[in-house]
Amino acid sequence: MGYDINYPVPHFGEDHDITDTKNSIALSEFNLGHKFSVGSGPSKKKYHNPAKDTMYNFAPTIDADIRTTQKNLQDAETKLNHRWVIEDV
């Protein structure tokens, strides 16, 4: 491959933010008299995205108003012998 991929990475210990967060959780648990559950993690159902269950129509039929507008535009361009070009700003 031309470059090392299995190189040693120095370990400087746990990040201070992680340590502070763990201490904050421990203090909160002590003050509340309640142990937060960590073991299994959040249920997958709680974070399920219902949009993934929806069958989307990626090729919908165009609304009748849009079809009428497109026909009127085409008729006007033909009658005036001029093509309307919309340039992006």
Q: Is residue 26 part of a domain?
A: no
Q: Is 1 inside a domain boundary? A: no
The domain in which residue 68 lies consists of 59-84
Evaluate whether residue 78 is within a structural domain: yes
Q: 28, 34 in Cβ contact below 8 A?
A: no
Mean pLDDT to the nearest integer, 31-55 = 77
Mean pLDDT of the chain, nearest integer: 87
Asked, for residue 18, whether it belongs to a domain, the answer is no
What CA–CA distances, in Å, run from 45 to 36, 38, 50? 19, 17, 10
Check whether 8 has a pLDDT greater than 80: yes
| Residue 70 within any structural domain of the chain | yes
- Total-model pTM: 0.36
Q: Residue 40 — very low, low, confident or very high, per pLDDT cuts 50/70/90?
A: low
Statement: residue 80 has pLDDT above 80: yes
Higher per-residue pLDDT: 24 or 37: 24
Domain total of the chain: 1
In a domain, residue 28? The reply is no
- Judge whether 7 lies within some domain: no
Query: What is the rounded average pLDDT of the residues 63-85?
Result: 95
Q: Is residue 76 part of a domain?
A: yes
